[in-house]
A = this chain, B = another copy of it.
């Protein structure tokens, strides 16, 4: 299959390089990657069996998101040039692009919604959180008292590597099954609704839940030296005004995979895209 990669951030560039390294036929436009033959928009799309855009695919619904490209890459240009049945792979397409694909007869696939991508992205996210904790805390993670709020993909992997470093890991959860999971793996656990009582004994709190879990009452109960690392997507899980009022040091860390490990993030995208394409054959 011939792949044409348009735009996207550095992860997309690394993904394109990795696709090439694994023997795929890849061309590109508006990407920051080495060794990828460049094509004009119309030409590249016409040749391609699959067109790949970044995350997000577009910000305005009209042009491809391409921060390393100086010009504009109109989405309509893709639609007009594409053969019927061309696959369009992208992350977070949005309503406008989705409608355009439907009209133009392109098969739109959102690789960013794939569970295997979310799972593997937990690795660079958790390592990024670890790096922040190591940088900010005057203690080692070994023996550090860590609370992981939320026991989903990121919470599980984060608890796993914290425990591996010798931290004392407590996870907060809501369901009996999650308490059982935590117990199996040797973590302490606390009911999410009862965090306030438990929270004073932690050196660092990692939040993974996109809800206002760390509200004023929780923040007021923290140890004065405690650090909060919020990994939840905007607006995050911390009441930032209360955090400021109580003097709680809080770091809101977003989009860690692309920031702390863009090469690995690119390889994970490559795995996912190859997986999707192999399923179609």
Contacts of A124 in B (CB 8 A): 140, 142
Partner of A135, one of B135, B138, B186, B275: B135
Interface 0/1 of A96-129, CB less than 8 Å to B: 0000000000000000001111011011100110
CB distance from A190 to the nearest CB of B (A): 15
Interface of A is mostly: helix
Whether A245 is near chain B, meaning CB under 8 Å from some CB there, is no
Q: Which one of A66-74, A227-235, A261-269 contacts B?
A: A261-269
> In the complex the two chains form, what is the Cα distance from A122 to B142 in whole Å?
11
Distance, CA A127 to CA B141, complexed state (A): 8
A120 to B119, CA, bound (A): 23
A177: Cβ under 8 A from any B Cβ: yes
Residues B140 and A157 in contact, CB atoms below 8 Å apart: no
| A3 → chain B closest CB, angstroms | 19
A131 at the interface (CB under 8 A from B): yes
The answer to whether A127 and B165 touch across the interface, beta carbons within 8 angstroms, is yes
Given A131-B134, A134-B131, A176-B275, are A140 and B164 neighbors across the interface (CB < 8 Å)?
no
Q: Are A123 and B135 in contact (CB under 8 A)?
A: no
Q: Are A184 and B123 in contact (CB under 8 A)?
A: yes
Does residue A130 face the partner (Cβ distance < 8 Å to B)?
yes
Determine if A194 is an interface residue (Cβ-Cβ < 8 Å).
no
Task: Tell me, yes or no, whether A180 is within 8 Å of chain B by CB.
Answer: yes
Q: Which residues of B contact A186 (CB under 8 A)?
A: 166
Do B119 and A184 touch (CB < 8 A)?
yes
Q: Which residues of A contact B (CB under 8 A)?
A: 114-117, 119-120, 122-124, 127-128, 130-131, 134-135, 137-143, 157, 161, 164-166, 176-177, 179-181, 183-186, 260-264, 271, 275, 279
Besides A116-B176, A120-B183, A131-B131, 4 other A-B contacts (C-beta < 8 A): A116-B179, A139-B261, A157-B184, A180-B271
4 A-B pairs closest in CB distance: A164-B164, A116-B180, A131-B134, A115-B177
What would be 11 A-B contacts, judged by CB atoms less than 8 Å apart? Answer: A114-B176, A116-B179, A119-B180, A120-B180, A123-B184, A124-B142, A131-B131, A161-B164, A164-B165, A166-B186, A180-B271
